[in-house]
Chain A
Amino acid sequence: MGKGEVEEQEDVFQAILLADNFGVSIFGSEWADKQNPGGNQFLDDDEDEGGAQNKSKEDELESGFTQESLMHLGNRKLIDYALEALTVSGVQEIYIFCSTGIRGGDALKAHIKDSRWSDLTVKIQVICSEDCQSLGDALRELDAKGMIRNDFIMMATAVITNKGLKPWLEMHRATMKNDKGAVMTLVHRVVPEGHRSRSTNSRTSVVVDASTRKILAYNERVPDKRIKVPLANIKEEMEVYLDTVDSGIAICSSSVLPLFTDNFDFANMVDFIKGILMNEEIMGNTIYVHRLEKGYANKITDFDTYLGISNDIMERWTYPLVPDMPFGSNPDDSIYSMNLNFVYKVTDVVCARNAMIGPNVIIGSKTKVQEGVQIRKSSIGNNCEIGKNVLIEHCQIGNNVKIGDGSKLCKSIVLDGSVIKAASIVGPMIILAEGQTCKIAIEDTFEKSDDEEESDDEDDFKSEDSFAPEPDNQESDTKRFCSEVLESILRAFTDNVDLDNLAVEIHGSRTANFMYFDDVPNAVVKGIIGVPLKLYPDFEQMPPKTQWDKTSEVMVRFKKLMPQYVKTEKAQKTVLQALEEHALDNAYFRPLLMKVLHYYYDIDILSQEMILNWYKTPSAYKGAAELRKMVEKLIEWLETASEESDSEEDDE
């Protein structure tokens, strides 16, 4: 877009605010499951009970957890922080995108209607969608609606910032004057590793051109050994950032939405950034990054950052977004006053004389705190009753919560209206649902008291998150896609179809079934391994030697196909997982697994590191442990190999 156009247009300052994170909750998998209970269903994979799933989902939402953006943070709603930042910066139109459907949307709308936000001249519109699985889907939908006409601010879930956004928009526009292809400026804040408000999962590395801050290379996870920058991209002066985190704020050119529409496999920001960088030479689009060294801009990404940022707020790093400043939703909100040690209280709080409160504590209106209570680094809502000798550390407690005498709460979130019985122990890392009554909740026995029947699956599920498949609502699509790919590969094998044509066919199936690129490796591996099964009806009865010969024949035939799909560590993970699933489903395959792994290691599809990783990550599937035992030899061999290569590495 030329600069002339920008100025000619009625320059409305627009922003997109994402109210949730598309099924990936900042509060961990339990939360996501609660919001999206269908996700668990992958364990019993043969039922087709879409209807039932939907129903249970609605039930859950009704009774269970709230919309994520309406969670408490410093006794305000999360979304209020983002709305404050946007409105203060002079944003004129705010589109809140909510992927939890009508229910989540209604809650949001109600919150905005009841609050000060509706009094402002700012246009705030909540857009609900139930089909959106990803950020990409959301932006494509927004593009179709045609509401965003200008450069805009995109803000992710739960962003807290005290910086004005307008200067960043100006900065991005100045960049666009020099580089017509500039589509986005990411705001990265300097947060050194190990800081409380930096997630341990946040391991991005960015290489930028020092003079323009244009991104030259981007890794969402820092590789273990080396960060690679192609010589062709080298600039005279570059900078490498490992000390920044994505603040969740992106300043976007108006062309961002059409770019998402054109590239329907962009699912999230990482896809977008990588896609743009990869095609920079062809498309001419570029992404910039703003390194924020002063001022606050941070995003809650998980439990730890939630607690960390809540402390940042109480210690006033986010000033003026602090508890005792009047901002946010309700005009009749109680007024907090700050006391020593960052203790914030409303005047009507009743506190026992010997209660030890602070540092970093906020206590809401009409809450009663009994004798002998200790509260540290926590926030407690309105109308709570805290019994005698209760210990609360690193907790976020909602309104109307009753905590019985002698309970201990640590590193947990307790939502509105919960009741915790006397002498309970809660935490760490527990989220108590609204209105729940709880006796004991330590991490391993999460919610046992309430959902006895669910708990088994629940426990299994938790221990293996790294290798559990993503909760997938499109089970049937995936299945159809897998079987189509299998058919294609089978035909390619028997009719000697060219690999290029096969790739085109697989691409076609993927598009037709609305699959992402990440889904392909799984289908391809299962397809290749599954060919002999389809080809020979009595395959499972054949002697192992013949089985291996047949299987390896197929693998060799398609060995050139794999590298196309398995380029990233994530893809390798998918491959390993697919092989594991296949082995668990088919007894014949178990003895072969070691050879298959070895083969894929030899042709550089799987790295030793990923295989070792997989081996070391326990899985809750039945028989998974036995399976790992069967490949022990290979692992031993790999480990010695890895030692050797380590020493080689040193010798460089």
Chain B
Amino acid sequence: MVYESKVQAVVLAAGRGSRMTQLLGTTVPKCLVPVCGNPLVYYPLKSLEAVGFRGKDILVIIQDRDDVRRALLSIADRLGLSGLDILTVPEDSEDFGTAESIRIALSSKKITRDALLISCDTIADIPFRELFDFHEIKESELTTLFVSPLQIPENVKLPGPKSKIKQERDIVGVKPGTNNLVYMASEADCEEEVKLPVSTLKSCPHTKILTGLVDTHVYLIKNSLLNRLLAATSERNFISFKGEFMPFLIQNHFLPDFSEYTFKFYACIEPKYRCVRVNSIPSFALANKSGDWIKDVFLNGVIPKSKCKIARGSKLWGTTLGEQCVVEEKAKLTNVIAMDGVVIKAGATVEGCILSSHSIIGANSVLKECLVGPKYQIPAEGRFTNEQLSVMEEAYFGD
């Protein structure tokens, strides 16, 4: 395919998963959250590989951690993406924003061409051909991609304290016919109501607002526009790319006084394709329960077996296990999502739970619909239903 010659892919994988701290704590970086036997960052890389990107055309921005680097290199090996470019952002600082990451990449001359930005938490069957064609035809400066959200299977329940699974909707406003991007927001940013800016609507007095689609966080962006991000630093310090920089661009490119830049922003809308963004506990559960879809799209029909010790006489139903898990005798697991290094002691019964990495489930305990935090130890004979169990550390309750 021809894309790679023009476009550089930038995988944004430095996020910390601030909306799933109960699950990740400080031990697991978001890009390594296991989904159907693979770390999260595997999926965007696989998508890129499948469409012909080679290692040298891909830049991955990660936190400065050895485990992440190692995992990334092993994935690159598996996918044959040799020469993958890696940029690290400091690990110790506060949650590093996407805009900040990109800015570092730009100022260190890591991004030199037009870019395909892709977030590491996007698991989507990205319609690259449609996206690139659309981008070319419209002579777009910035193209976003909207697809349908992955349906929530009926039997998925959210562990932890009872609450309804609700996917957060993305809200996008486009000009009918041309799909010019007029407005972008996500439901989480709105309080009670959606607030449509009148200044932009006046420039586009007939606007279509779509709420049934999901923003894949895949953006095709011209290099000149990226440099605008650098240039704008003097005016404002953008932290989030989608949350701050994009709205800034969209709102301003309709204003007459911004005419020196002839921005053309578009939304590519492909409702036939599906996407799930693993950025919260419900979407994490959803992704792991959507094995069939993920398997078909990404894994050639096979979910990789993880290296686990599973004792005879244990029973596993509808369960995914991460690496290095141990399941002892007579343990019964039903609809469980276990991350790496989980130990389930003998005789434990676990139903519909998410077990975070290195948690230990005591012998003969009974857990139903619980969320077990990282390194948490369930005592033997413990009984819990619909609870969130995690080590009481302030950092975990940031949200």
Q: Known contacts A238-B209, A239-B207; is A231 also within 8 Å of B192 by CB?
A: yes
Given A234-B169, A242-B201, A242-B202, A210:B208 Cβ within 8 A: yes
Min Cβ gap B60→A in Å is 31
The contact string, 1 if C-beta is below 8 Å from chain B, for chain A 233-255, is 01111111111000000000000
Beta-carbon contacts under 8 Å, A216-236 to B:
222-231, 234-236
- On chain A, the residues within 8 Å of B206 by CB distance are 190, 239-243
Given the complex of chains A and B, what is the CA–CA distance between A241 and B202 in angstroms?
10
Q: A228-B195, A231-B190 are in contact. Are A237 and B205 (CB under 8 A)?
A: no
Which of A193, A224, A228, A652 is B205 in contact with, Cβ under 8 Å? A193
Binary flags per residue of B185-206, CB closer than 8 Å to A gives 1, else 0: 0010010111111110110011
The residue from B169, B195, B201 contacting A240, defined by CB atoms under 8 A apart: B201
Are B211 and A226 in contact, CB atoms less than 8 angstroms apart? no
Chain A: interface size category: 20 to 34
Cα distance A224–B173 in the bound complex, in angstroms: 19
**Residue count of chain B within 8 Å CB distance of chain A:** 26
Report yes or no: A239 in contact with B192, Cβ–Cβ below 8 A: no
A651 interface residue (CB < 8 Å to B): yes
Flag if A192 contacts B205 (CB, 8 Å).
Answer: yes
Contact between chains at B192 and A222 (CB < 8 Å): no
Instruction: List residues 169-183 of chain A with CB under 8 A from any CB of chain B.
Output: none
**B210 proximity list for chain A (CB < 8 A):** 236-238
The verdict on B176 contacting chain A, using a C-beta distance below 8 Å, is yes
* Residue B236 interfacial (CB < 8 Å): yes
Nearest CB of A to B340, in Å: 38
> Which residues of A have CB within 8 Å of B196?
226-229, 240
Residue B83 is within 8 A (CB to CB) of chain A in the complex:
no
- CB pair A227 B211 closer than 8 Å: no
Chain A CB within 8 A of B212 CB: yes
A225 CB contacts on chain B under 8 angstroms:
197-199
Given B171, B198, B205, B209, which contacts A243 in the complex, CB threshold below 8 Å?
B205
| CB neighbours of B190 from chain A (8 A) | 231
Q: How far is the CA of A627 from the CA of B112 in the complex (A)?
A: 63
Decide: A231 and B193 in contact? CB cutoff 8 A.
Answer: yes
A229 to B209, CA, bound (A): 11
> Quick check: A238 and B197 within 8 Å, CB to CB?
no
Contact check: which of B169, B194, B212, B236 meets A229 at CB < 8 Å? Answer: B194
Whether A239 contacts B211 by the Cβ 8 Å rule is no
A205 to B207, CA, bound (A): 11
Nearest chain B CB to A361 CB, angstrom units: 32
- Please determine whether B236 and A234 come into contact, CB atoms closer than 8 angstroms: no
Is B209's CB under 8 angstroms from A237's CB? yes
Residue of B nearest to A223 (CB): B198
Q: Are B173 and A234 in contact (CB under 8 A)?
A: no
Q: Please, which residue of chain A has its CB at the minimum distance from the CB of B206?
A: A243
Residues on the B chain within 8 Å of A193, using CB: 202, 205
Among the listed A192, A228, A230, A237, which residue makes an inter-chain contact with B208, where contact means beta carbons less than 8 Å apart?
A237
Query: Would you call A224 and B198 a contact (CB within 8 A)?
Result: yes
For B236, give its contact among A222, A241, A651 (CB under 8 Å): A651
A192 to B171, CA, bound (A): 25
B225 vs chain A, min Cβ distance (A): 20
| Cα of A211 to Cα of B322 in the assembled complex, Å | 45
Give the distance in Å from the alpha carbon of A229 to the alpha carbon of B193 in the complex.
5
- Our pick among B192, B198, B201, B208 for the contact of A238 (Cβ within 8 Å) is B208
Residues of A within 8 A of B169 (CB): 234
- On chain A, the residues within 8 Å of B192 by CB distance are 230-231
Closest B residue, CB atoms, query A235: B211
Produce 1/0 per residue, B205-229, CB < 8 A to A: 1111111100000000000000000
**CA–CA, A127 and B219, complex, Å:** 63
**Cα-based distance from A617 to B353 in the complex (angstroms):** 65
Report B278 CB to chain A, min CB distance, Å. 23
Known contacts A226-B197, A229-B193, A230-B193, A236 near B202 by CB under 8 Å: no
User: Quick one: closest A residue to B213, CB to CB?
Assistant: A236
Across-interface contacts of B212 in A (CB, < 8 A): 236-237
Q: Are B198 and A239 in contact (CB under 8 A)?
A: no
In the complex, what residues of B have CB within 8 A of residue A223's CB?
A: 198
Chain A residue at smallest Cβ distance from B182 = A240
* Neighbouring A residues of B211 by C-beta, 8 Å: 234-238
Chain B residues within 8 Å of A228, by CB: 193-196
State the Cβ distance, A209 to closest chain B Cβ, in Å.
10
Contacts of B176 in A (CB 8 A): 239
Closest A residue, CB atoms, query B244:
A652
Candidate in B192, B198, B210 with the most chain A CB atoms within 10 angstroms: B198
Contact B202 A240 (CB under 8 A): no
In the bound complex, residues from chain B placing their C-beta under 8 Å from that of A222 are 198, 201-202
Q: How far is the CA of A236 from the CA of B148 in the complex (A)?
A: 11
User: Which residues of chain A are near B205, meaning CB under 8 Å?
Assistant: 192-193, 241-243
1/0 per residue, CB under 8 A from B, across A105-123: the answer is 0000000000000000000
Q: A238 — which chain B residues lie within 8 A by C-beta? A: 208-211
In the bound complex, CA of A293 to CA of B268 (Å): 26
What is the CB-to-nearest-CB distance from A398 to chain B, in angstroms, rounded to a whole number?
37
Q: Contact check, A239 vs B209: say whether CB atoms are below 8 A apart.
A: yes
| Given contacts A238-B209, A238-B211, A226 and B198 within 8 Å (CB-CB) | yes
Complex Cα gap A205–B208 (Å) = 13
Q: Which residue of A lies closest to B195 (CB)?
A: A226
Please name all residues of chain A whose beta carbon is closer than 8 Å to the beta carbon of B207 when the two chains form the complex.
239-240, 242
* In the complex, chain B residues whose CB is within 8 Å of the CB of A242: 201-202, 205-207
Q: State in angstroms the CA–CA spacing of A224 and B195 once bound together.
A: 12
Cα distance A441–B171 when bound, in Å?
55
- CB contacts (< 8 Å) of A240 on chain B: these are 173, 196, 201, 206-209
Shortest distance in angstroms between A332's beta carbon and chain B's nearest beta carbon?
Answer: 46
The residue of chain A having its C-beta at the shortest distance from the C-beta of B173 within the complex is A240
- Alpha-carbon gap, A95 to B212, bound state (A): 45
Q: Chain B residues near A192 (CB, 8 Å)?
A: 205
CA A599 to CA B171, docked complex, whole Å: 38
- In the bound complex, how far is the Cα of B176 from the Cα of A210, in angstroms? 11
From residue 447 to 494 of chain A, which have CB atoms closer than 8 A to chain B? none
CA distance A30 to B173 in the complex (A): 43
Map CB proximity to A onto B377-392 as digits: 1 under 8 Å, 0 otherwise.
0000000000000000
A611 to B: closest C-beta gap in Å = 21
Q: Which B residues are in CB contact (< 8 Å) with A235?
A: 211
A147-173 vs B, CB cutoff 8 Å, 1 = contact: the mask equals 000000000000000000000000000
Q: In the complex, what residue of chain A is closest to B190 when comparing beta carbons? A: A231
Contact with B along A195-215 (1 / 0, CB 8 A): 000000000010100100000
Give CA–CA (A239, B187) in the complex, Å: 17
Residues on A with C-beta less than 8 A from B209 are 207, 237-240
Per the bound structure, the CA–CA distance linking A210 and B213 in Å amounts to: 15
Q: What's the nearest-Cβ distance from chain B to residue A207, in Å?
A: 8
B138 CB to nearest A CB, Å: 21
The complex places the Cα of A243 from the Cα of B192 at a distance, in Å, of 26
**Complex formed: what's the CA distance from A238 to B205 in Å?**
13
Q: Which residues of A contact B (CB under 8 A)?
A: 190, 192-193, 205, 207, 210, 222-231, 234-243, 651-652
With A230-B192, A230-B194 already in contact, 7 other A-B pairs whose C-beta atoms are closer than 8 Å: A231-B190, A237-B209, A237-B210, A237-B212, A239-B176, A242-B202, A242-B207
Q: List 16 A-B contacts (CB under 8 A).
A: A190-B206, A222-B202, A224-B198, A229-B196, A230-B194, A231-B192, A234-B169, A237-B208, A238-B210, A239-B176, A239-B206, A239-B209, A240-B201, A240-B206, A240-B207, A242-B202
Give 9 closest A-B pairs by Cβ, nearest first.
Answer: A236-B212, A243-B205, A242-B205, A226-B195, A238-B209, A228-B193, A227-B196, A240-B207, A229-B194
